[in-house]
Amino acid sequence: MADVEFSASGVRIERFTRSLTRAGQVVVKDGRLSLLTSNGREIDSAPVGTVSARKWWFIAADSVIARVNGVRYRLTMGQRNRRRDGSAPLRRFLETLRSARGRRD
């Protein structure tokens, strides 16, 4: 079993204007993206190759719109997920998806 490639907790997960959780988790492991509630219940998951994520200019700086199984989710990753090396969780998330897609091709 491969190690976790990306993990962030305390993530606000919204579908359109409906908040699904304010303290959720985003995990990329074994080539699969999982969106989880604060108590670990799965909201949605999909192979990383089928997930698209994009940063839009009109949403907050710490948010991204991800399309998982055709459903758009707004993921807001706050400052408390910032690593000691100063790398922002949002940037690490997008890089993880990009590199996983590259391995698939």
Residue 61: band (very low, low, confident or very high) from pLDDT cuts 50, 70, 90: confident
Check the CA dihedral 90-94-95-97 and report its sign: positive
Written as one letter, the residue type at 86 is G
The tens digit of pLDDT for each residue in 14-50 reads 998 899 999 999 999 988 999 999 999 999 999 999 9
Written as one letter, the residue type at 59 is I
Task: Tell me the sheet residues that pair with 73.
Answer: 66
CA 94 to chain centre: 8
Residue tagged 């399309």 (tokens): 67
* Domains of the chain, first to last: 4-97 (2.30.29.30)
What mean pLDDT is predicted for residues 64-75?
95
Residue 87: band (very low, low, confident or very high) from pLDDT cuts 50, 70, 90: low
Task: Tell me the sheet residues that pair with 77.
Answer: 11
Share of the chain above pLDDT 70, in %: 83
Residues 74 and 55: beta-carbon distance below 8 Å? no
